[in-house]
Chain A
Amino acid sequence: MTELIEEYQLLDAFWMTIKLTAYSAVISLILGTILAVMRVSPVRIFEWVGTTYVTLLRNTPLTLIVLFCSLGLWGQLGIELASRDSPTFIVDNGFRLAVLGLSVYHAAFVCEALRSGVNTIPLGQAEAARSIGLTFTQSMTQVILPQAFRGAITPLGNVLIALTKNTTVVAAIGVAETAYRMKAIAEFEPSLLMVGFAIVALGFVILTLPMGMLTSYLSARLAVKR
């Protein structure tokens, strides 16, 4: 079992999964927040852009988006996210394209999670903010969004867990994360397939279980008392 972990670099693979999750989580949180603000903004065209983005991205399979990033953006349009001269060009470029694909896809879900958070805020909050003369930006940043984030912890946690599991999809473009290694084990070590699957599955349980527990803890702890 230890040989299997060492030979197929499963620890490195899980570290890659964690890195993909962390980077994509931060970027999709930022992008998703911008989209959510656009969707509730008073300017029609912003609202329209946000809605269109969410509809398009949410209905496209992640596999297609990730392939599009690698074969389309890089292969066809020559967009490179790392320096050509760097010795780790292939690895870095693949990693960043994967993060790009994961981020744009999950941003749509972050946006929806935040919107559901906005919906938990009683109308009186926004009305009070307006009545004391706050502008849209002020009421957004000081009244609505702080409460929306706290109300959206459960759906945001679910997006994070889904993101962790969805990083496996980037095996499609050859990023050496868990599913990629699992595929190698499955292909070349038929006798160890069961053990390999057990280790990988257990790894994901270990990764996602604390996230789920933290989510329930935080959502109870940070819930806005009404």
Chain B
Amino acid sequence: MSDTTRVLFDAPGPKARMRYRIMAVIGALVILGLLYVVYGRLEEKGQLTAARWDWILDGSAWTNYLLPGIWDTLRAAAISIVLSMVLALVLAMARMSDVAPLRWLASVVVEFFRAVPVLIMMLFMFWFLVHRGWFPDSLNPMIGVVFGLTMYNSAVLCEVIRNGVASLPAGQREAGLSIGLSPAQVRRTILIPQSLTAMLPTLVSQIIVITKDTALGYLILYPELVTRARQLGSAESATLPAYVVAAVLFILINYTLSKIAEAVENRQRRRNRSAGKVGDANEPPPVAPAIVPSGGGHGGFGG
């Protein structure tokens, strides 16, 4: 509990403490009751028998399904984050360029890919490749997943970079110009590098979004963790346990990543080397609005 929420109520006196205690007991009873109902339902439907769960201790379920699933999830996420970072840099450069048509084009591209659901882009690319037959069939789902994730996240990260540049003190740019650098040189050598260091925590939290979104690959037959969990569920006739285990694995991976993001953020705050600070992707950009009004929605939480 943070200090902000502490101040919402008085330090409890004896009466209030009693009241809180009673409410806590009632709350605990309600939660236990709910858990009991869930337990009863599971028991009634025979979900809690050893036969449904014992595959967890069996190595083959892990080596055949879960570990390859984790591997494919992380692989697609890793490729996508690298590609989107590169593309985001290109887009950000274009969107801040001195050439007006280039700026407009980049704005349209960014707003478009922020507005279109990732799944729609994945479906499009996957089926496009299937019909064209350019690549071996086994590669198509992977390319589809990476394409969808890269397009959306590069648009989001481009805005984060731009945000970062806009929040730098004006003196940074002016100093660069006054020593005779061109505006493009100032952006490339002074503004964007500072923006990149400051966006590191945002980048890590974007990795969480990407990792979760690889699960959309389920709809285009990419063998990531959710797809494997479903296969495992049918193979062991343990649908529910397989999903529960997949969820636990996802939560563990993402929770670890979010802790890393926090640590990076703290470290950065201590070092405080960058001249400005970069807000997260959910802040509206303090830059002049582009020709397409911001409507993409950057709430980075896909499926």
Contacts and interface: CB of A to CB of B under 8 A. Distances in A.
Contacts of B75: none
B4 A123 contact: yes
Could you say which of A63, A136, A209 has the most chain B C-beta atoms within 10 Å of its C-beta? A63
A182 B127 CA distance: 10
Contact of A64 (B12, B215, B298): B215
Interface string A202-218: 00110011111100100
Interface string B7-46: 1111010001000100110011001000000000110010
B71 interface: no
Nearest to B16: A42
A159 B300 CA distance: 9
Nearest to A214: B295
Given A169-B216, A211-B295, A201 B120 contact: yes
Nearest to B247: A60
Interface string A64-92: 10111001100111110000000000000
A55 interface: yes
B239 A162 contact: no
A186 B124 contact: yes
B20 A59 contact: no
Contact of A162 (B23, B246, B251, B297): B297
A139 B226 CA distance: 44
Interface in A159-186: 159-162, 164-166, 168-169, 171-172, 178-179, 182-183, 186
A209 B27 contact: no
Interface in B211-249: 212-216, 218-219, 226, 229-230, 233, 239-240, 243, 246-247
A39 B300 CA distance: 22
A162 B114 CA distance: 10
A126 interface: yes
A165 B255 CA distance: 24
A126 B12 CA distance: 15
Contacts of B97: none
A29 interface: no
A219 to B, nearest CB: 8
A197 interface: yes
B258 interface: yes
A43 interface: yes
A161 B297 contact: yes
Could you say which of A59, A179, A210 has the most chain B C-beta atoms within 10 Å of its C-beta? A59
B119 A64 contact: no
Label chain A's interface by main secondary structure.
helix
A214 to B, nearest CB: 9
Given A45-B31, A72-B243, A186-B127, A59 B254 contact: yes
Contacts of A151: none
Nearest to B258: A59
Given A72-B243, A183-B219, A193 B131 contact: yes
A155 B282 contact: yes
Interface string B110-133: 011001111110011011100100
Nearest to A42: B9
B41 A119 contact: no
A208 B12 CA distance: 46
A200 B208 CA distance: 27
A45 B297 contact: no
A190 B69 CA distance: 30
Contact of B293 (A75, A160, A209): A209
A42 B27 contact: no
B239 A72 contact: yes
A154 B128 CA distance: 36
B296 interface: yes
Contact of A165 (B12, B246, B297): B297
A43 B251 contact: no
Interface in A43-60: 43-47, 49, 55-56, 58-60
B167 interface: no
A183 B120 CA distance: 9
A50 to B, nearest CB: 11
A62 interface: yes
Given A39-B5, A136-B9, 17 more contacts: A40-B8, A46-B24, A49-B27, A59-B254, A61-B212, A62-B215, A64-B229, A72-B239, A160-B297, A161-B295, A161-B299, A162-B299, A162-B300, A186-B124, A193-B131, A212-B295, A216-B293
